[in-house]
Structure 1
């Protein structure tokens, strides 16, 4: 049997640990035992260390020479800072996409919205089992909105911020049930974008992102462990 290339093994290990962080299998603040992860995943020490170093560079893990790696903690203060930064970056990306986007871009947006709108809303289902599917479709829709932006650096920063926000969204989806019409929020943003109304689209996007942050804050991140245990 041919051995799996180290790069492929490292990639698989990276995505496995990342998914476990996003799904809260590894909870915020938890210290990760590298040897246990190696045994659990059947991966080499080098592959696990490289994957964890990458996750630390992306902000999912924190590392120290004495204590190793732990899952980055969550807090209301961090969420507020993250949301403020996301709104600013999304504004820049969205305005350029609206200015430059063509018919194929519009078609991709409509298709992504259609798929997302047909999935059970992860926000409205406490302990939903399909959070992964909804989160993936949500990411596809939001990425489609800005895909006509030509600034690679803006899009990279935006993607990093989106991933960090996804951790907070999933904490909310797992730990509580929210009365929120996300489909119509997304529809309003899409319609403003397709009408090339940049000011309205950016205002609606800012409201959308801020509303998510406000709901997550109300979950009370200080007591998130208790809420996850009950989920």
Structure 2
């Protein structure tokens, strides 16, 4: 019993460390290319050294961090080529999952989408657009909206791959929020995707989704963030 308890505690600590580090990477508190001091992370999160090391190993498998031989870990850098490849892959995977979801979705699927969209819009209406899209509640609502869209897809392997691409692209999306000077109506972009999906209009849904994802990529590509890359 004691051995089982110790094992569970270690796994829980590693999962906690993984979630905390991933969140800081996505939020930009750990910037692209930054060196990760394992000892400092251990002390800041008040977790064991082993848990932090295991978390970094897991995040390396996710592509969030990169390991350097005899030099520890760094936050994965961002690049123009990766962004373009990632955006293309995500468009393909989102559309693949969404197509299946539209074929299998029922009223519960529709209700989940509408509820997620409503929550996102309400959060955006409480403050400025950019401020709202920089907060954890809106980021969570945004993730729930895109997950709701594909939730009726019956293929769990496709959903797992889609989730991995979403988390990678989320890092770029959050970097894009303070960069945007465009007159971009993100609320309307989400509404167009939702309405087309509820109509089961695949062509319109896929077109709206692709335009939505490419708009984010273009903001970053035009910004100083990737200049000289």
**Is the TM value for this pair above 0.5?**
yes
CA displacement, residues 56-75 of structure 1 (integer Å, 9 cap, x when unaligned): 11010000222110000001
What are the residue-to-residue correspondences of 1:87-166 with 2, within 5 Å?
A: 87-120=91-124, 124-125=129-130, 130-166=134-170
Which residue in 1 is equivalent to 2:48? 44
Distance 1:179 1:15 in 2: 34
- Cα pair 2:134 2:174 within 8 Å, conserved: no
Distance 1:133 1:176 in 2: 20
Q: TM-score, normalised by structure 1?
A: 0.89
What are the residue-to-residue correspondences of 1:1-231 with 2, within 5 Å?
A: 5-120=9-124, 124-125=129-130, 130-222=134-226
Q: Secondary structure at the match of 2:130?
A: coil
- Cα pair 2:176 2:220 within 8 Å, conserved: yes
CA displacement, residues 147-171 of structure 1 (integer Å, 9 cap, x when unaligned): 0001111101111111111101111
Range that drifts further, 41-50 or 171-180: 171-180
- Cα pair 1:34 1:49 within 8 Å, conserved: yes
- Cα pair 2:180 2:219 within 8 Å, conserved: no
Gaps of 5+ in 1: 225-231
- Cα pair 1:123 1:177 within 8 Å, conserved: no
Judged with a 3 Å threshold, the aligned counterparts in structure 2 of structure 1 residues 115 and 129 are, in CA distance, closer, same or farther, namely closer
- Ranges of 4+ aligned residues in structure 1 off by more than 6 Å: none
Deviation of 1:120 (Å): 2.4
Range that drifts further, 169-178 or 103-112: 169-178
Judged with a 3 Å threshold, the aligned counterparts in structure 2 of structure 1 residues 177 and 19 are, in CA distance, closer, same or farther, namely farther
- Cα pair 2:38 2:53 within 8 Å, conserved: yes
Judged with a 3 Å threshold, the aligned counterparts in structure 2 of structure 1 residues 152 and 48 are, in CA distance, closer, same or farther, namely same
Judged with a 3 Å threshold, the aligned counterparts in structure 2 of structure 1 residues 9 and 178 are, in CA distance, closer, same or farther, namely farther
Judged with a 3 Å threshold, the aligned counterparts in structure 2 of structure 1 residues 212 and 25 are, in CA distance, closer, same or farther, namely same
Distance 2:180 2:216 in 1: 13
Judged with a 3 Å threshold, the aligned counterparts in structure 2 of structure 1 residues 63 and 150 are, in CA distance, closer, same or farther, namely same
Q: Secondary structure at the match of 1:48?
A: helix
Q: TM-score, normalised by structure 2?
A: 0.90
- Cα pair 1:82 1:161 within 8 Å, conserved: yes
Between structures 1 and 2, the one with greater helix share: 2
